Amino acid sequence: MDMLVIRGGNPLHGTIRVSGAKNSALPCMAAAILTEDAVTLENIPQVRDIETERKLLASMGAEVELCKGEEDLTTISCRTLSDPVAKYEIVKTMRASALVLGPLVARTGMARVAMPGGCAIGGRPIDLHIKGLETMGATITQEHGYLEARADRLRGTHLVFDKITVTGTEDLLMAAVLAEGETLMENCAREPEVSDLAALLTAMGAQIEGAGTSTIRVQGVTSLHGARHRINPDRIEAGTFLIAGAITGGDLVVADCNPNHLGAVIAKLRETGVCIDVIGPDAVRVRGGEKLRAADISTEEYPGFPTDMQAQYMALATKAEGVSLVRENIFENRFMHVQELVRMGADIKVDGSAATVRGPACLSAAAVMCSDLRASASLVLAALVADGESILDRVYHLDRGYERIEEKLRGVGAQIQRLGNLFAPAESE
Ligand code: EPZ
**Which of the four pLDDT bands, split at 50, 70 and 90, describes residue 125?**
confident
Host H or E run for residue 239:
helix 235-247
Q: How far apart are CA 406 and CA 417, in angstroms?
A: 7
Q: How many CB atoms lie within 10 A of CB 352?
A: 9
Q: How far apart are CA 425 and CA 110, in angstroms?
A: 31
User: What is the pLDDT, as a whole number, of residue 64?
Assistant: 97
Give which of 277, 339, 265, 371 is closest to 308, Cα–Cα: 265
pLDDT tens, 37-79? 999 999 999 999 999 999 999 999 999 999 888 888 999 999 9
**Which of the four pLDDT bands, split at 50, 70 and 90, describes residue 153?**
very high
pLDDT of 122 higher than 90: no
Q: How far apart are CA 156 and CA 175, in angstroms?
A: 9
Tell me which amino acid residue 72 is: D
pLDDT of 422 higher than 70: no
Nearest CA to ligand 1 atom 13: 23
Ligand 1 within 6 A of CB of 26:
yes
Q: Can the peptide bond before residue 303 be classed as cis, meaning omega within 30 degrees of 0?
A: yes
- Average confidence score pLDDT of the chain: 95
Start-to-end CA distance of the chain, whole Å, equals 15
Give bridge partners of residue 159 from the DSSP assignment: 185
On whether the CB atoms of residues 341 and 355 are closer than 8 A, the answer is no
Mapped onto helix, strand or coil, the DSSP state of residue 325 is: strand
**Backbone phi, then psi, for 139, in 5-degree steps?**
-100, 125
pLDDT of 290 higher than 80: no
Ligand 1 within 6 A of CB of 41:
no
**Which of the four pLDDT bands, split at 50, 70 and 90, describes residue 426?**
low
**Which residue of 97, 165, 334 sits with most ligand 1 atoms within 8 Å of its CB, as the best mutation to test the pocket?**
165
Atom number in ligand 1 closest to CA 124:
27
Host H or E run for residue 113:
strand 110-114
pLDDT of 107 higher than 60: yes
Atom number in ligand 1 closest to CA 330:
34
User: What is the pLDDT, as a whole number, of residue 375?
Assistant: 97
User: What is the pLDDT, as a whole number, of residue 420?
Assistant: 79
Ligand 1 within 6 A of CB of 374:
yes
User: What is the pLDDT, as a whole number, of residue 323?
Assistant: 98
Tell me which amino acid residue 55 is: K
Please compute the mean of the pLDDT values over residues 78-101 and round it to a whole number. Answer: 93
Could you tell me the sign of the dihedral formed by the alpha carbons of 333, 338, 343, 347, in that order? negative
On whether the CB atoms of residues 156 and 220 are closer than 8 A, the answer is yes
Task: Provide DSSP, 16-75.
Answer: EE--B-HHHHHHHHHHGGG-SSEEEEES----HHHHHHHHHHHHTT-EEEEEETTTTEEE
User: What is the pLDDT, as a whole number, of residue 7?
Assistant: 98
Q: Can the peptide bond before residue 27 be classed as cis, meaning omega within 30 degrees of 0?
A: no
Nearest CA to ligand 1 atom 35: 308
User: What is the pLDDT, as a whole number, of residue 97?
Assistant: 92
CA distances from residue 104 to 126, 236, 421 in whole angstroms, order as listed = 16, 29, 35
User: What is the pLDDT, as a whole number, of residue 120?
Assistant: 75
pLDDT tens, 328-386? 999 998 999 999 999 999 999 999 999 999 999 999 999 999 999 999 999 999 999 99
Nearest CA to ligand 1 atom 22: 308
pLDDT of 421 higher than 60: no
Active site residues: 119
Ligand 1 within 6 A of CB of 414:
no
User: What is the pLDDT, as a whole number, of residue 425?
Assistant: 57
Please compute the mean of the pLDDT values over residues 147-170 and round it to a whole number. Answer: 97
Contacts with 12 (C-beta within 8 Å, 6 or more apart), sequence order: 244, 245, 248, 250, 251, 252, 384, 409, 412, 413, 414
Give which of 203, 204, 157, 166 is closest to 187, Cα–Cα: 166
Please compute the mean of the pLDDT values over residues 281-290 and round it to a whole number. Answer: 92
pLDDT-above-70 percentage for the chain: 97
pLDDT of 424 higher than 70: no
321 or 121, which is more confident: 321
Please compute the mean of the pLDDT values over residues 106-131 and round it to a whole number. Answer: 88
- Give me ligand 1 centre to Cα 420, in Å: 31
User: What is the pLDDT, as a whole number, of residue 327?
Assistant: 98
Please compute the mean of the pLDDT values over residues 193-202 and round it to a whole number. Answer: 98
47 or 427, which is more confident: 47
- Give me ligand 1 centre to Cα 401, in Å: 15
